[in-house]
Amino acid sequence: MRIVNREQILLTEVDKKLLAKVRLKRTLFLVIAYLSLTAILFLIFMTGQFDFTGTSIEKSIRYRRATNILTGLLLIILTISFVVYYFKAIHPFTRDLKKGLKTVSWFYPAAYKTPYFDSFFLKTGSPKKPMLPIPKNLFDAIEPGVLAYILIAPASRFVFLLDIDGQQLEFNERNVVLDL
């Protein structure tokens, strides 16, 4: 894919709502997963606080200390990994919404079809996602010299629209996996 021209335009209200909806979905996933795993860690922590009958005091003190250290370390690791996930997967949507811009890139598309399956792809040139799955009608529209354009949110790399020779493919929150 060779970029011919690139410019930034303002996000429309529909685009802002779409980015906000995708950000909300990812945030809810993050919060629910974090709270669930924290609840499991809390249950593990609570098992170490009970006094067990039939065991010596030394063993119960060692068990309590081990569960406290284990759950503390796991909570720190869990929190750090979820903070990193937030800054990689959710915060870029916030930056895009604050800036209010999207990028329009005109390019000459390059198509790819898998040899054994009927899967069609557009070569994007992006290191994060080098191939973008497209339907067959868009694949058929790709010919040498045909100019295409793509609308992308710059920070989150969310694809809003792909147009190849007048045939358009709009992306929404259901196919959010298709971000560059």
pLDDT for 4 equals 83
Among 98, 116, 150, residue at a domain's last position: 98
pTM (predicted TM-score): 0.81
The whole-angstrom separation of Cα 145 and Cα 147 is: 6
Q: pLDDT at residue 107 above 60? A: yes
Domain count, the chain: 2
Whether 93 is covered by a domain: the verdict is yes
**104 and 71 within one domain:** no
Whether 180 is covered by a domain: the verdict is no
Among 75, 98, 121, residue at a domain's last position: 98
Residue 92's domain comprises 15-98
Per residue in 62-76, pLDDT (tens digit) is 889 999 999 999 999
Residues in the chain: 180
